[in-house]
């Protein structure tokens, strides 16, 4: 029996499929076209749901390791008591997206959970290849720890969180902070994370449903790593699936769709963490592709995945 889309998700995706029918996907390496198309999709999906009225957004800045000024956007629920927080890293395949494109989703997490979030406007590849993005993420984590008292944050209850490429950066940040003896991380919340530059062989069961395709993936990793992508010398702080020993990493929440090209690398990462003694909560959602919940946000499965993310944020 072949894999199929969840019926509600299929209905929500149908207009997008119809609009793209007959079009030629951009070739591997074409970053500019992917930015133009996919950032438009992200903006449209983000505007399809209302912005919460009870979340205040404040911009801060920090200086990265190379002296660059990095935007850090703080989202806090009005009247929320002091407590935990999360550092958020947005998706975009390492090559696209900005903090502003994800204002809606992040604000909705904060409104529903009461947990404030610091979103890091990390620099993107190929203009800024590894290690710039993960170092920018580390700058954000360090800044939040240094300003925890001012923001009413318990530094022992700070999580890292991200979706897609941002999930990969969150996992890489956890590895970097562990290996560097850096700020403590209470939990890593990895949403359909992009973890392994070696995911290059198309799965015929997934390919017909892939919203982030194998060509997109090759483009993203190639932009981040250049000729090193897929080779023997890629560090775990670029591709977390490469980590030699996961022991000592923070507890992890990981989720992915069964029709997502990241399925196998996420399953494998969850298993490796668990075998190394790291606490893991893992969800594999049948019938859904990558980033489905941003488009099919009224579907039952989208409501369930959002409820899980909010629950984890609340539990910090």
**Residue 294 annotated among the catalytic residues of the structure:** no
Tens-digit pLDDT profile for residues 74-99:
999 999 999 999 999 999 999 999 99
Q: CA–CA distance from 71 to each of 59, 120, 125, 256, 278 (Å)? A: 7, 6, 17, 29, 32
Instruction: Exactly one of 111, 113, 119, 164 is catalytic; name it.
Output: 164
Share of the chain above pLDDT 70, in %: 100
| Over residues 27-37, mean pLDDT | 97
What is the predicted pLDDT for the residue at 139?
98
pLDDT at 263 over 90: yes
CB-based contact 63:72 (threshold 8 Å): no
Rounded to whole angstroms, the maximal C-alpha distance in the chain is 56
What is the predicted pLDDT for the residue at 18?
83
DSSP states along 239-277: SGGG-S--TTPPPEEEEEETTSTTHHHHHHHHHHHHHTT
Domain 7-13+29-315 has CATH 3.40.50.1820: yes
The rounded distance, in Å, linking the Cα atoms of 193 and 169 is 8
Query: Which tokens sit at 42?
Result: 């992200």
Instruction: Exactly one of 90, 128, 145, 290 is catalytic; name it.
Output: 290
What is the predicted pLDDT for the residue at 2?
86
| Over residues 100-109, mean pLDDT | 97
**Average pLDDT score over the chain:** 96
**Residue 260 annotated among the catalytic residues of the structure:** yes
Backbone angles phi, psi at 69, to 5 degrees: -85, 125
Residue recorded with tokens 């992915």: 256
Read off the DSSP letter of residue 227.
Answer: G
pTM here is: 0.97
pLDDT class for 47, splitting at 50, 70, 90? confident
CB-based contact 120:87 (threshold 8 Å): yes
Tens-digit pLDDT profile for residues 189-201:
999 999 999 999 9
The rounded distance, in Å, linking the Cα atoms of 138 and 135 is 5
Q: Which of 2-6, 177-181, 280-284, 304-308 has the lowest mean pLDDT?
A: 2-6
What is the predicted pLDDT for the residue at 174?
98
pLDDT class for 274, splitting at 50, 70, 90? very high
pLDDT class for 146, splitting at 50, 70, 90? very high
Instruction: Exactly one of 260, 285, 294, 299 is catalytic; name it.
Output: 260
Domain ranges of the chain: 7-13+29-315
**Residue 61 annotated among the catalytic residues of the structure:** no
| Over residues 154-181, mean pLDDT | 98
pLDDT at 59 over 70: yes
Residue 36 CA, distance from chain mean position:
20
pLDDT at 1 over 70: no
Strands 153-163, 188-191: pairing is: parallel
């Amino acid at each position: 029996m072949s894999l199929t889309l969840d019926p509600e998700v299929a209905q929500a995706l149908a207009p997008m499929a119809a609009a793209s029918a007959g079009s030629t996907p951009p070739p591997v390496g074409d970053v500019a076209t992917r930015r133009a198309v996919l950032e438009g999709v992200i903006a449209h999906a983000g505007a399809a749901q209302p912005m919460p009225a009870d979340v205040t957004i404040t911009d801060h800045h920090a200086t990265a390791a190379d002296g660059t000024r990095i935007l850090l956007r703080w989202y806090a629920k009005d009247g929320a008591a002091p407590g935990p927080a999360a550092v958020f890293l947005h998706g975009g395949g390492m090559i696209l997206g900005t903090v502003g494109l994800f204002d809606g989703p992040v604000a909705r997490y904060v409104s529903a959970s009461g947990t404030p979030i610091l979103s890091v406007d990390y620099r993107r590849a190929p203009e800024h290849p590894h290690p710039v993005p993960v170092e920018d993420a580390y700058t954000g984590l360090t800044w939040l720890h240094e300003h925890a008292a001012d923001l009413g944050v318990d530094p022992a209850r700070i999580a890292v969180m991200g979706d897609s490429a941002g999930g990969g950066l969150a996992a890489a940040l956890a590895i970097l902070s562990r290996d560097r003896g850096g700020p403590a991380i209470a939990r890593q919340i990895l949403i359909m994370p992009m973890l392994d530059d070696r995911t290059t062989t198309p799965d015929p069961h997934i390919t017909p449903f892939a919203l982030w395709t194998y060509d997109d993936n090759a483009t993203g990793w190639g932009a981040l790593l250049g000729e090193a992508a897929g080779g023997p010398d890629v560090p775990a702080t670029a591709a977390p699936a490469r980590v030699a020993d996961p022991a000592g990493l923070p507890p992890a929440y990981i989720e992915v769709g069964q029709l997502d090209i990241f399925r196998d690398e996420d399953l494998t990462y969850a298993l490796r963490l668990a075998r190394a003694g790291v606490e893991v909560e893992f969800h594999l959602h049948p019938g859904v592709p990558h980033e489905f919940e941003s488009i099919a946000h009224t579907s039952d499965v989208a409501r369930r995945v959002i409820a899980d993310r909010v629950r984890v944020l609340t539990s910090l």
